[in-house]
Amino acid sequence: MTASYLPTLSSAPRSFLCPQRTSSLSSATGRRNPVFHPVKPAADCCSTKNPASAWTSARHERWEGDLAVEGQLPAWLKGTYLRNGPGVWEVGSTAMEHLFDGYATLVRVSFRDGRATGAHRQVDSDAYTSAKSHGRAIHREFAHCPTNNPNNNNNLLDRVIDLVGLVTGTSLTVNPNTAVARLSDGRVVCLSETTKSTTLIDPETLGTIGKFTYTDGLSGKSRLLQLLPLQSAHPVVTETEFMTVLPDLNSLVTRRRPGYLVVRMEAGSNERKVVGRVECRGGPTMPGWVHSFAVTENFVVVPEMALRYSAASLVNNSERASFYALDWIPESGSYLHVMCKRTGNTVASVEVPPFVVIHFINAYEEKRHDGQPTAVVVDGCDHNGDPAILDALTLHSLRSLRGKDVLPDARVARFRIPLDGSPYGELESALDPEEHGRAMDMCSINPAYHGKKYRYAYACGARRPCNFPNTIAKIDLVDKTAKSWHENGVVPSEPFFVARPGASDEDDGVVICTVNSDGGGSYTLVLDAEKFQEIARVRFPHSLPCGFHAFWIPDKM
Ligand SMILES: CC(=O)/C=C/C=C(C)/C=C/C1=C(C)CCCC1(C)C
Ligand SMILES: CC(/C=C/C=O)=C\C=C\C=O
Ligand SMILES: [Fe+2]
């Protein structure tokens, strides 16, 4: 295969590539201006002096070709590594503010017979295509509020438009920039936190097939007051089903207590069925932010963080909460709820110390001699109970504070939830956070150990000083130690564990991770998971933007 660049962003109008250099484009109607806060221009955006970095928008709409291999790829490594993440933060007159705002960019590396081919491509979501055609972002992203600007009248009409947009799901993002997963029926989806963002893609061409439409009417389409436009960005996908958590926002329009629905969808189906509803404990507020959750053999663990969806921000697109569309309300309490997968009943609900966990790592049951579960252990990447991590991930901080030690501390939080009716759960650090540089996030484990007692987690860690994780860490939860891979100035994405076929040891396999290097290049690393040493790297011919989560699709035998 030879390399092929398909429609490139560099052939797009200049204003699309580099908004900072163009005179401002006003919105078509003039009623709502596009950019709400003065956004600091990206220091390196389009600069000829600075090479592209992890925080530079993708310069090509699409590329595919052969990848140069350094080192020796294992002969058994046959399949496709996919990575999702935000890759375009500037469109027309809009320069996004936050890392989480960027339009989805997919990366593929296929390994076969010791060789590698690669590709990357923008997802053609409605959010991205409409931003291109309007010359500005028109959907609300994590931090980006298209209507939040000083000229917005914030009058009754604005509010009605925002509320209708929320109920019908038209104002919130459909930009699936977070996770990628293959359903057990073979369909591949990428997704983010709105149900409407779920998008079917072709894992070979990375082309966008279309929206994944849920046929159950749970997301507000057929029942006007059923306010379920949001979902966890990380469904749990097994051989037989897809399971996820939907924050129930009905408390915005009814007197119902806030809560969460746990839903499951069988392989081959588009219909989610409700397993059960968990009621929030945290006062008459909104549900806590649920980016991810955890499952064990018998239970679903639903987190209720004190970092809650902001009612005011959701019903008024121009109103910013203390953390974008989220409010930090520590006095509302932090809880973990345990739902039985079979009955949908909440079998435990405990209060725990404040935590800020974007990603749960794994969970498992402690059992009595007769096999009866007595407690649930849940591990998560905890930003020491402080939402400041969200501000550390603004593009301005990432671009301008390189090398400064401003990345907030994080640890592996181990929660223990007794199943005997106790009102409180326990929380401790699973190991000394110094082991992984007092930062850790974007984790994976050997997928065969999901829901089971396990020993190893792989995550991005830190070698200080840094403003973003810059190591890949293997965390041993038994020995309470961590090994790290690091090169100066790197920006890694989620390290993804792939087991060697026939392996019996938990760490018998490789860890695959796509990295941005200091000088502006990008490569995909293959590490021996046991020794945690690099065995090969495959280089892309140009720099890619940073990425988040990955997935592995083995070749058919
Ligand atoms: C990439 C990542 O870690 C998180 C992405 C989160 C997103 C896109 C969340 C967006 C939103 C909320 C947190 C609250 C409701 C509005 C909405 C924009 C969907
Ligand atoms: C990039 C990130 C956290 C880094 C913290 O150190 C979280 C990404 C979330 C994507 O889903
Ligand atoms: Fe995530």
- The residue whose C-alpha atom lies closest to atom 4 belonging to ligand 2 is 441
Mean pLDDT score of the chain:
88
For ligand 1, whether the C-beta of 140 sits within 6 Å is yes
Between the CA of 13 and the centroid of ligand 2 the distance, in Å, is 31
Is the pLDDT at 7 greater than 60? The verdict is: no
Among residues 454, 377, 361, the alpha carbon closest in space to that of 412 is found at 361
Q: Identify the pLDDT of residue 40.
A: 30
Distance, CA of 367 to CA of 73 (rounded, Å) = 41
Among residues 514, 511, 509, 520, the alpha carbon closest in space to that of 548 is found at 514
For ligand 2, whether the C-beta of 442 sits within 6 Å is yes
Among residues 268, 279, 172, the alpha carbon closest in space to that of 219 is found at 172
Distance, CA of 419 to CA of 347 (rounded, Å) = 7
Share of the chain above pLDDT 90, in %: 78
For ligand 2, whether the C-beta of 178 sits within 6 Å is yes
Between the CA of 15 and the centroid of ligand 3 the distance, in Å, is 31
Is the pLDDT at 283 greater than 90? The verdict is: no
Among 142, 291, 394, the mutation site with the greatest number of ligand 1 atoms within 8 A of its Cβ is 142
For ligand 1, whether the C-beta of 325 sits within 6 Å is yes
For ligand 1, whether the C-beta of 458 sits within 6 Å is no
Q: Identify the pLDDT of residue 29.
A: 24
What DSSP state is assigned to residue 132? H
Is the pLDDT at 224 greater than 50? The verdict is: no
Between the CA of 133 and the centroid of ligand 2 the distance, in Å, is 29
The residues that bridge with 248 in the sheet, in sequence order, are 259
Instruction: Phi first, then psi: give them for residue 403, nearest 5 degrees.
Output: 85, -10
Q: Work out which ligand 2 atom sits closest to the CA atom of 407.
A: 6
Summarize pLDDT for 159-184 with one digit per residue, the tens.
666 666 666 666 788 999 999 999 99
Weakest-pLDDT range from 13-17, 115-119, 127-131, 180-184: 13-17
Between the CA of 362 and the centroid of ligand 3 the distance, in Å, is 14
438: Cβ–Cβ under 8 A, 6 or more apart, which residues?
409, 410, 411, 462, 464
Among 441, 494, 516, the mutation site with the greatest number of ligand 2 atoms within 8 A of its Cβ is 441
Distance, CA of 325 to CA of 85 (rounded, Å) = 20
For ligand 2, whether the C-beta of 389 sits within 6 Å is yes
Among 101, 193, 493, the mutation site with the greatest number of ligand 1 atoms within 8 A of its Cβ is 193
